[in-house]
């Protein structure tokens, strides 16, 4: 484990349902201080997906994470006044579809005053596909980013969100068209760090998920010059975790009534696919 990645809590199993639970706050998980929205640390949406893949991998450790689908981001997990959240991740195999695991993430917070009930919230749900490792052949043409703009410009947008070192994965970017964004990202804290915190770490790295999806998020902000919030991820194919830089291409697929839908593809420096994300939807903040 490192200070950039979330991790699951202790596991209990009852009637085929795995439950991982632990206390979460800015001291136990300092990366939260690097993702501040309107003055409050917020658990990143991509990190919720990372926890889903960790849970599925713990349920079926003999297999590898191959994809996700039907991911819904319901409520943000905000941290106020150093109070902790009791995070719970539940996972259960789908009986009708071998290899698919349904995962839900919720939290419980102590009430602000005695005599009141605890505050319960549902943060996300989705399904994770586990399968045998697959060979990844080069499918993409690696791009040259010499002379491209500094990605730090995108981290400054929108102004309501402040990013710290745990999120500074972007290196360079280009915008070849209004509805497209190209970028190269690298492990935060480069070059001494890698995406995978440890060789035997479960799941798919949350930092890598965040770096790739942030390109789509940034295109959403650039397209309308408004703050956006993630809503859902229709599906994603997840391949082997690369060791270094990743190139990302985000394209706007649809826009209607403040909602934008993106297709985001990523590949390593040899052109081998890393992650292909379909139906990544965001909504403009009123």
CATH number at residue 81: 3.10.129.10
Last residue of a domain, one of 71, 103, 131: 131
159 has a pLDDT exceeding 90: no
Q: What is the mean pLDDT of residues 137-159?
A: 92
Whether 143 is in a domain gets the answer no
Whether 269 is in a domain gets the answer yes
1 has a pLDDT exceeding 70: no
Tell me the torsion sign for CA atoms 37, 41, 42, 43.
positive
Last residue of a domain, one of 105, 131, 157: 131
- CA–chain centroid gap for 156, Å, is 19
Residues 6+ apart with CB under 8 A from 178: 223
**What whole-number percentage of the chain has pLDDT above 70?**
98
Whether 230 is in a domain gets the answer yes
Query: What CA–CA distances, in Å, run from 42 to 33, 123, 201, 231, 246?
Result: 8, 11, 24, 15, 25
Q: Give percent helix, percent strand, percent coil of the chain, each to the nearest 5.
A: 15, 45, 40
Same domain? For 126 and 173 the reply is: no
Neighbours of 146 (CB within 10 A): 5
Q: How far apart are CA 96 and CA 99, in angstroms?
A: 10
Whether 141 is in a domain gets the answer no
Alpha helices by DSSP H, 70-182: 152-155
Q: How far apart are CA 228 and CA 221, in angstroms?
A: 6
Same domain? For 168 and 198 the reply is: yes
Q: How far apart are CA 60 and CA 99, in angstroms?
A: 9
Same domain? For 160 and 266 the reply is: yes
Same domain? For 82 and 185 the reply is: no
Same domain? For 108 and 155 the reply is: no
Whether 73 is in a domain gets the answer yes
The domain that holds 253 is classified in CATH as 3.10.129.120
Dump strand ranges (E) for the chain: 10-14, 17-24, 35-37, 40-41, 64-73, 85-93, 100-109, 119-131, 149-150, 161-163, 170-174, 180-185, 228-238, 246-256, 259-268, 273-284
Whether 2 is in a domain gets the answer no
Same domain? For 155 and 243 the reply is: yes
User: Which residue would you say has higher pLDDT here, 97 or 224?
Assistant: 97
Helix orientation angle between 206-224 and 45-59, rounded to the nearest 10 degrees: 150
Same domain? For 278 and 174 the reply is: yes
Same domain? For 179 and 112 the reply is: no
227 has a pLDDT exceeding 90: no
Whether 4 is in a domain gets the answer no
User: Which residue would you say has higher pLDDT here, 14 or 112?
Assistant: 14
What burial class does residue 96 get, using C-beta atoms within 10 Å of its C-beta: 0-12 exposed, 13-18 middle, 19+ buried?
Answer: exposed
Whether 136 is in a domain gets the answer no
pLDDT of residue 176: 95
Same domain? For 213 and 260 the reply is: yes
2 has a pLDDT exceeding 60: no
Range of the domain at 244: 149-284
Residues 6+ apart with CB under 8 A from 74: 121, 122, 123, 124, 125
Same domain? For 165 and 80 the reply is: no
Which tens digit of pLDDT belongs to each residue from 35-44?
Answer: 999 999 999 9
Same domain? For 274 and 202 the reply is: yes
Which tens digit of pLDDT belongs to each residue from 243-279?
Answer: 899 999 999 999 999 999 999 999 999 999 999 999 9
User: Which residue would you say has higher pLDDT here, 286 or 196?
Assistant: 196
Which tens digit of pLDDT belongs to each residue from 16-55?
Answer: 999 999 999 999 999 999 999 999 999 999 999 999 999 9
Number of domains the chain contains = 2
Tokens representing residue 220 in the block: 């959403």
Same domain? For 118 and 201 the reply is: no
Last residue of a domain, one of 131, 159, 184: 131
């Amino acid at each position: 484990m490192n200070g950039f990645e979330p991790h699951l809590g202790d596991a209990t199993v009852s009637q085929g349902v795995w439950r991982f639970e632990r206390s979460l706050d800015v001291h136990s998980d300092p990366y939260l201080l690097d993702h501040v929205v309107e003055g409050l640390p917020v658990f990143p949406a991509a990190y919720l997906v990372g926890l889903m893949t960790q849970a599925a991998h713990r349920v079926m450790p003999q297999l590898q994470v191959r994809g996700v689908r039907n991911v819904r981001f319901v409520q943000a997990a905000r941290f106020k006044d150093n109070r902790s959240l009791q995070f719970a991740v539940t996972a259960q195999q789908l009986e009708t579809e071998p290899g698919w695991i349904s995962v839900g993430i919720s939290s419980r917070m102590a009430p602000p005053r005695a005599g009141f009930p605890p505050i319960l919230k549902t943060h996300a749900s989705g399904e994770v596909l586990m399968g045998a490792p697959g060979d990844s052949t080069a499918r993409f043409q690696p791009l040259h980013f010499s002379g491209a703009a500094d990605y730090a410009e995108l981290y400054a947008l929108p102004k309501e969100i402040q990013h710290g070192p745990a999120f500074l994965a972007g290196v360079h970017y280009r915008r070849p068209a209004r509805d497209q964004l190209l970028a190269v990202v690298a492990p935060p804290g480069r070059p001494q760090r890698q995406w995978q915190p440890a060789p035997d770490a479960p799941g798919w790295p949350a930092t890598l998920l965040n770096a790739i999806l942030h390109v789509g998020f940034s295109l959403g902000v650039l397209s309308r010059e408004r703050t956006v919030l993630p809503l859902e991820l229709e599906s994603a194919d997840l391949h082997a975790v690369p060791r270094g830089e990743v190139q990302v291409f985000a394209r706007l697929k649809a826009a209607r009534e403040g909602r934008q839908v993106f297709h985001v593809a990523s590949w390593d420096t040899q052109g081998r696919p890393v992650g292909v994300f379909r139906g990544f939807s965001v909504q403009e903040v009123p």
